[in-house]
Amino acid sequence: MTRRCLILSHGFNMDGRAASQTITDKLPYFLNKRWQLFVLSAVTGKKDSRFSHEQLFAWGPAAFRFDFRHWCAQRLGRGLRYRLFTTLVSTLISPLIVVERALTGLSSQWSWTIPATIRGYIWIKQHNIDLIYSTGGAWSAHLAAWWLKKLTHVRWIAEIHDPLVERISEDDDGLSPRSSREARFRQHLEQKICMDSDACWWFTEGALCYARKRNPALGSKGFYILPGAPPPETRARYCRRTELHIAHFGSLSQSRSLGSLIQSLAQFYTIHPKAVGKIRLHAYGSELDSESKRVVQTSRLTGSVIEHGRLEYNPDSGQSGRDQITALMQTSDFLLLLHGNHETCAEYIPSKLYEYWWANRPVLAITHRNPQLDKLICSISPLNFVCHVHEGNTGTLRLLEFAWQQWNSSSIDQIPGQSPPLTPKDAVDTIERSVTHTQ
């Protein structure tokens, strides 16, 4: 049976973005199942030629400014012309952004919902589309899908990446009204998804559990899926170097910081003077967070902590940011997974873990209140190591001791057999079954 599916994904074909990869990684498997795809996205990614794909500018000034910057960067690079155009546009629409924030109190991407709904409605009627699939990432895709569900009565499935309701403590179940308009709106949108979608899923047991507590009517149409990652197209050869290289990939922030690990590295050097200068901590994907920068300066570890920033398409090599990151993962001694320290950690698994799995390198993880994540990491390989945020420097010092011992013993040179990595095919098979079940 050929399904005609409208996919609503705000961030789509954005190189290296988890919100994009979670859906784009599944597409080859959907196409193999004879799904006919129609995609609506923002203009921030690359246009896909494998199916009908239309990119839409958001109609609100704040989101338009964000979209315009990405659109210009793709066409002009980030040189002088980019800076001139984006500065001019930002200056002209700044007063409108102030008005928009005062009136709505919502995050900027809300306004993408309007063109997505209008264009989606036209496509549903033109192409006799029989399934709406919203994925995010940005919640505007789910809002547009809900509007289209009400307008057309076409079946709707929803994929929630991060919990829409952010809990603030272990005792908070998310049922009480939130403090901001944005948070209250997302709480309301979660209710609509649970009530009106034909199937919806989250990416962890914890997220599904809390969603069910807030929405008892969710029933069996709610479930969780581990999204996995596709096998890499190429494989770089690992070679041991004269220093121990630990690599972190992804964003850093106040709630997901390298600060504690860097502090422990300074302490580790005091305990093991022979290790001084022998450990390199690499940060790929973003700048160091403010706390990490402060600790680097006060600990005088500038040479041990290396900031690489975001990796994007390299025109000289023809490699995408993701291609470069894949090779770097495969050639690192250890891969570092930072979970964060906020309450929502109980409800999410960093998507980078699935790519780490394919890299076939040992993982060092600092996690917070997520037994499912801990169990998954430890089940992948006996050389993986988990400590917890609440352990503080004691835990991160144990992590460094473990890495140093394993590296010196050469036990990481040949990784023993790991459990088979999860692929998006597993997720697509589950989605296909859920769609068939709701027919």
pLDDT of residue 1: 66
d(CA 37, CA 60): 27
17 and 162 part of one domain = yes
15 and 161 part of one domain = yes
251 and 116 part of one domain = no
pLDDT of residue 218: 95
267 within 8 A of 290, measured Cβ to Cβ: no
Which H helix or E strand runs over 141?
Answer: helix 140-152
118 and 253 part of one domain = no
201 and 280 part of one domain = no
d(CA 362, CA 246): 10
247 within 8 A of 284, measured Cβ to Cβ: yes
Residue 390 is assigned to a structural domain of this protein:
yes
pLDDT of residue 73: 86
d(CA 184, CA 170): 19
Residue 418 is assigned to a structural domain of this protein:
no
d(CA 286, CA 323): 17
Residue 414 is assigned to a structural domain of this protein:
no
Number of helical (H) and strand (E) elements in the chain, helices listed first = 15, 13
d(CA 42, CA 79): 23
Residue 235 is assigned to a structural domain of this protein:
no
Residue labelled with tokens 């090779």: 327
227 within 8 A of 238, measured Cβ to Cβ: no
Residue 91 is assigned to a structural domain of this protein:
yes
147 and 248 part of one domain = no
Residue 239 is assigned to a structural domain of this protein:
no
432 and 316 part of one domain = no
Which H helix or E strand runs over 214?
Answer: helix 205-214
- Strands of 279-284's sheet, edge to edge? 305-309, 279-284, 244-249, 334-338, 363-367, 385-388
80 and 213 part of one domain = yes
> CATH code at 215?
3.40.50.2000
Residue 413 is assigned to a structural domain of this protein:
no
95 and 190 part of one domain = yes
pTM attached to this predicted model: 0.92
Number of domains in the chain: 2
pLDDT of residue 437: 80
Q: Which domain holds residue 380?
A: 244-408
Residue 114 is assigned to a structural domain of this protein:
yes
221 φ, ψ (degrees, to nearest 5): -75, -10
326 and 433 part of one domain = no
pLDDT of residue 418: 76
What is the full per-residue pLDDT of the chain (439 aa) written as tens digits? 689 999 999 999 998 788 999 999 999 999 999 999 999 999 999 999 999 999 999 999 999 999 998 888 888 888 888 889 899 999 999 999 999 999 999 999 999 999 999 999 999 999 999 999 999 889 999 999 999 999 999 999 999 998 999 999 999 999 999 999 999 999 999 999 999 999 999 999 999 999 999 999 899 999 999 999 999 988 899 999 999 999 999 999 999 999 999 999 999 999 999 999 999 999 999 999 999 999 999 998 989 999 999 888 888 888 888 899 999 999 999 999 999 999 999 999 999 999 999 999 999 999 999 999 999 999 999 899 999 999 999 999 999 999 999 999 998 988 876 788 999 999 999 999 999 887 7
Locate 70 and state its tokens: 């990405």
127 and 203 part of one domain = yes
156 and 204 part of one domain = yes
Pick from 310, 303, 308: which is nearest to 280 by CA? 303
DSSP three-state, residue 132: strand
Task: Please count the other Cβ atoms lying within 10 Å of the Cβ belonging to residue 33.
Answer: 15
HEC readout, 353-395: HHHHHHHCCCEEEEECCCHHHHHHHHHHCCCCEEEEHHHCHHH
Cα distances from 364 to residues 148, 248, 398, 401, in angstroms, run: 44, 10, 11, 11
Contact residues for 123 (Cβ-Cβ < 8 A; gap 6+): 6, 38, 40, 52, 129
6 within 8 A of 131, measured Cβ to Cβ: yes
